[in-house]
């Protein structure tokens, strides 16, 4: 069984969840030909956590290599990469990215003869050594059997089964510079959870040369839905205006009016969903605003914690100033954009999100601005302003939302 080497050179920069630095590394040079001196150094500013294979965070450094020769027959080999040296008047030198959680050494050859190897390891320190990625935060991952080894684990949930009866399969990937599985194969190692039963793995500690059993436990739901619904309510202010036939402005101001909300999200894929909302605020005037949109993720940043989404669709608006005034009931077409910041302030599963809808036509004034904060239930600040012909309405306030039910 083989596994492709991790590409840490081209990997995206991840979040520095464990504050290692180059001071936590040590270099070991093994020379097989004393005729050629080899120097190696970790670039002090080069320590990064990088995200590989979507879910796994691993540390990397940049290593500088120098040889006391200008002989062009020397080359450097690391994993699947071969590097040629650049020469100065007296020395040859190069540098490369090095993966600290893989036990792969840098090999230096003169033609076909191995001259030296270079390894960079993490020192044994009191710093945190186990990194459970935020991708596992909903699965309550627990690792039993670790004894002061470095360890990183990431998760991805996949849908299996037929539509309407889909269940989760949790795939975990893990890597450790000290541990490897007995049966062979290169890291990262994989395990799949179909239910809450644990995965037991026989591993070898390459430092102590002792075998032991590693146990990974997780929690996964029995069912995966595609359609999620929520409802909310709260006190809102509602200010409305009407200009009558005599060009006289009539206003109604309700500092506190009951407001009800409904939300839906139908997940088509990981990056695409159909989203809907309905906001109803009523006092003496009545205002109802509903919308249905296709949400498509178009960018992410900050180690995949910050997402940006376009919202393209249609809304329905109902407004009635009072019982003696004709109602407005029509489709409108504001378009919008939303952001979502997951695991806000390093609190697992808490989300800050917000967005804006703006009118796409000159004959209708419309803006809808919101920001939300929460985990299961959420708080929402919202401002909606609308105007057309002789009518205007503006409402704003704070509401609390609760998950309702999942379908499909």
How confident is the model at residue 1, as a pLDDT? Answer: 38
Q: 12-122 sits in which CATH class? A: mainly beta
Cα(201)–Cα(192) distance, rounded to whole angstroms?
12
Domain 227-407 has CATH 2.40.128.100: yes
Tokens of 16: 């520095």
Cα(315)–Cα(336) distance, rounded to whole angstroms?
11
How does residue 404 score in pLDDT terms, banded at 50, 70 and 90? very high
Give the phi and the psi of residue 163 in degrees, each rounded to 5.
-60, 135
Q: What is the pLDDT of residues 274-327, one digit of tens each?
A: 999 999 999 889 999 999 999 999 999 999 899 999 999 999 999 999 988 899
Q: What is the 3-state secondary structure (H, E, C) of the chain?
A: CCCCCCCCCCCEECCCCCCCCHHHEEEEEEECCCCCCEEEEECHHHCEEEEECCCEEEEEEEEEEEECCCCCCEEEEECCEEEECEECCCCEEEEEEEECCCCCCEEEEECCEEEEEEEEEECCCCCCCEEECHHHCCCCCEEECCCCCCEEEEEEEEEECCCCCCEEEEEEEEECCCEEECCCCCCCEEEEECCCCCEEEEEEECCCCEEEEEEEECCCCCCCCCEEEEEEEEEEEEEEEEECCCCCEEEEEEEEEEEEEEEEEEECCCCEEEEEEEEEEECCCEEEEEEEEEEEEEEEECCCCEEEEEEEEEEEEEEECCCCCCCEEEEECCEEEEEEEECHHHCCCCEEEEEEEECCCCCCEEEEEEEEEECCCEEEEEEEEEEECCEEEEEEEEEEEEEEEEEC
Average of per-residue pLDDT values in the chain:
93
How confident is the model at residue 186, as a pLDDT? Answer: 83
Domain residue ranges in the chain: 12-122, 130-217, 227-407
How does residue 4 score in pLDDT terms, banded at 50, 70 and 90? low
Q: Which of 2-11, 202-211, 279-288, 347-356 has the lowest mean pLDDT?
A: 2-11
Q: What is the pLDDT of residues 225-270, one digit of tens each?
A: 999 999 999 999 999 999 887 788 899 999 999 999 999 999 999 8
For 54: left if phi > 0, alpha if psi spans -120 to 50, otherwise beta; the answer is left
How confident is the model at residue 281, as a pLDDT? Answer: 95
Cα(150)–Cα(174) distance, rounded to whole angstroms?
11
Cα(286)–Cα(277) distance, rounded to whole angstroms?
17
Count Cα atoms within 13 angstroms, Cβ side, for 373: 5
């Amino acid at each position: 069984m083989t596994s492709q080497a991790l590409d840490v050179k081209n990997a995206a920069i991840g979040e520095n969840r464990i504050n290692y630095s180059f001071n936590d590394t040590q270099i070991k040079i093994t020379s097989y030909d004393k005729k050629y001196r080899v120097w190696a150094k970790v670039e002090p500013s080069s320590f990064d956590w990088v995200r590989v294979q979507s879910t796994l965070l691993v540390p990397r450094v940049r290593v500088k290599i120098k040889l006391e020769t200008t002989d062009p027959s020397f080359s450097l080999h690391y994993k699947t990469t071969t590097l040629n040296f650049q020469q100065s008047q007296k020395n040859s030198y190069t540098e490369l990215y090095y993966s600290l959680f893989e036990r792969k050494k840098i090999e230096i050859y003169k033609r076909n003869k191995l001259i030296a190897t270079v390894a960079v390891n993490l020192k044994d320190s009191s710093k945190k050594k186990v990194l459970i990625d935020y991708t596992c935060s909903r699965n309550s991952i627990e690792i039993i059997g670790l004894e002061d080894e470095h360890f990183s684990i990431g998760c991805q949930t996949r849908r299996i089964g037929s539509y309407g009866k889909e269940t989760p399969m949790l795939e975990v990937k893990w890597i450790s510079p000290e541990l490897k599985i007995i049966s062979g194969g290169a890291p990262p190692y994989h395990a799949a959870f179909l239910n809450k039963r644990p995965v037991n793995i026989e591993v070898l500690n390459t430092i102590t040369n002792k075998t032991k059993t590693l146990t990974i436990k997780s929690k996964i739901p029995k069912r995966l839905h595609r359609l999620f619904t929520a409802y909310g309510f709260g006190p809102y202010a509602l200010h409305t205006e009407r200009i009558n036939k005599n060009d006289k402005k009539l206003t109604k101001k309700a500092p506190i009016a009951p407001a009800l909300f409904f939300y839906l999200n139908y997940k088509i894929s990981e990056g695409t969903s159909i989203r809907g909302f309905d906001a109803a605020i009523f006092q003496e005037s009545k205002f109802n605003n509903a919308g249905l949109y296709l949400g498509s993720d178009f960018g992410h940043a900050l180690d995949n914690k910050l997402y940006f989404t376009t919202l393209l669709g249609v809304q329905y608006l109902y407004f009635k100033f009072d019982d003696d005034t004709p109602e407005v009931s029509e489709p409108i077409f504001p378009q919008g954009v939303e952001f979502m910041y997951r695991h806000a302030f390093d609190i697992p599963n808490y989300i800050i999100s917000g967005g804006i809808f703006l009118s796409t036509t000159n004959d209708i004034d419309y803006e809808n601005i919101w920001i939300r904060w929460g985990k299961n239930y959420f708080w929402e600040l919202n401002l909606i302003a609308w105007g057309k012909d002789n009518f205007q309405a503006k409402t704003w306030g704070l509401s609390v939302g609760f998950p309702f039910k999942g379908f499909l």
